[in-house]
Amino acid sequence: MYSSSIIRRAVVARPALRNRTVLNSIRLYATPSNEEYDPQLNGYPQLPWKSRQELPPLGWQDPLYRRNFGDTLHEQEEVLSMWGPDTPPIAPNAAVRQFLLAVAGFVAAGFTIKYVLLQEPPAVRREYPYDGLVKELGGLEENKARSESVDSED
3-state secondary structure 6-63: HHHHHHHHCHHHHCHHHHHCCCCCCCCCCCCCCHHHCCCCCCCCCCHHHCCCCCCCEC
Q: Does residue 65 share a domain with residue 49?
A: yes
Give me the mean pLDDT over the 26-54 stretch.
74
Which residue segment(s) compose the domain that 101 sits in? 88-119
Binned at pLDDT 50, 70 and 90, residue 112 comes out as very high
Please report whether residue 112 resides in a domain.
yes
Cα–Cα distance measured from residue 37 to residue 28, given in angstroms and rounded to the nearest whole number: 17
The whole-number pLDDT of residue 13 equals 43
Please report whether residue 61 resides in a domain.
yes
Check: CB of residue 82 under 8 Å from CB of residue 66. yes
Count of domains observed in the chain? 2
- For residue 130, pLDDT over 80 is answered with no
**Coil/strand/helix, residue 147:** strand
Please report whether residue 150 resides in a domain.
no
Q: Does residue 79 share a domain with residue 56?
A: yes
Q: Does residue 53 share a domain with residue 83?
A: yes
- The reported pTM is 0.43
User: By percentage, how much of the chain surpasses pLDDT 70?
Assistant: 62
- For residue 34, pLDDT over 90 is answered with no
The whole-number pLDDT of residue 132 equals 67
Check: CB of residue 68 under 8 Å from CB of residue 60. yes
Residue 62 main-chain phi, psi, to 5 deg:
-120, 90
